[in-house]
Amino acid sequence: MKVAVIQMNSVADKARNVAAARALMERAVAEEKPDWLLLPEHFDWAGGSRGDKLANSEEIGAGPASDMCRDFARRHGTFVHAGSIMERARGGERIRNTSVVYDRRGEEVARYSKIHLFDIVAPDGAVYRESDTVTPGETVATYECEGVTVGCAICYDLRFPELFAALVDRGATMVALPAAFTLQTGKDHWELLLRARAVETQAYVCASAQCGSFVAPGGEARHTFGHSLVADPWGHVVARASDGAGYAVARLDPARIERVRAAMPVRAHARRLREPVPARPIAAE
């Protein structure tokens, strides 16, 4: 299977972002003819106020971002893993950070909402509070893509290996990770974590990232790391996007997965750890 990971610089302009995503996918299909395409996290929107995000959220299957991806998959006969979209949650006061996947006929085959929300203080003091706007997902998701079982994760999920282990338990041989890693964390942790998850799962990890800058509430410029890539089951990077918007392409080799898992059967060797026995208190004299 031939895969393409799309790299974007999304901003607070939904129409512009959807058009940019379509143009990059059109270019990838014309030049490389991939079977499967992955867009970045929030390819449809970046920055703006909480109100802006809510106003530009959409119902999956009834909005410009998801409609474009569905129609693109149907027209070009490719799988489209639509990075993540700001999905309107019930009540309209919050959103979900949601991936939706369309098969070659434009039929929805999977949907996953980000479980782990990015609530941190970055090394430069910038505060990120994803939970102020986003409702977390609760369900692990995989889907079948012509002989490949694809596991779903989004950005900050990358730091939680137990999610990746759960995906492998459900048969995943590839994990899709759309992301918008910050520049500061990305330069130290992005590739390290992606390769680690590939080694641990003995699966391909395909990661599409946001790059460049966008304007956050208050007019603050925030910067994303980019460096979209594909890592193989041995942890080697087999494709990488250059700086700026673009894409990278790789071919997945199912035999490679089988060889790695047969040579080092870590799942078969895994043992359930016992809880430590509490120490007995020393009796008073």
Query: What is the C-alpha separation between 200 and 61, in angstroms, rounded?
Result: 35
pLDDT (0 to 100) of residue 122: 83
Query: What is the C-alpha separation between 167 and 150, in angstroms, rounded?
Result: 8
3-state DSSP helix/strand/coil percent for the chain, to nearest 5?
30, 30, 40
pLDDT digit of tens for each residue in the chain (285 aa)? 999 999 999 999 999 999 999 999 999 999 999 999 999 999 999 988 889 999 999 999 999 999 999 999 999 999 999 999 999 987 778 999 999 999 999 999 999 999 999 999 988 888 899 999 999 999 999 999 999 999 999 999 999 999 999 999 999 999 999 999 999 999 999 999 999 999 999 999 999 999 999 988 778 888 999 999 999 999 999 999 999 999 999 999 999 999 999 999 998 998 877 777 676 665 554
- Whether the Cβ atoms of residue 101 and residue 108 lie closer than 8 Å to each other: yes
pLDDT (0 to 100) of residue 279: 66
Report CA-CA distances (Å) from 164 to 123, 130, 201, 232: 26, 21, 7, 15
pLDDT (0 to 100) of residue 282: 57
Sketch out the chain's domains with CATH numbers: 2-269 (3.60.110.10)
Query: What is the C-alpha separation between 152 and 64, in angstroms, rounded?
Result: 22
Model confidence, pTM: 0.94
pLDDT (0 to 100) of residue 205: 98
* Cβ count within 10 A of residue 237: 17
CA 80 to chain centre: 13
pLDDT (0 to 100) of residue 49: 87
DSSP state of 203: S
Query: What is the C-alpha separation between 277 and 71, in angstroms, rounded?
Result: 58
Query: What is the C-alpha separation between 102 and 69, in angstroms, rounded?
Result: 7
- Whether the Cβ atoms of residue 114 and residue 157 lie closer than 8 Å to each other: yes
pLDDT (0 to 100) of residue 125: 84
pLDDT (0 to 100) of residue 280: 66
Positions annotated as catalytic residues are 41, 114, 155
The pair phi, psi for residue 59, each rounded to 5°, is -80, 130
The DSSP line for 149-175 is EEEE--GGGGG-HHHHHHHHHTT-SEE
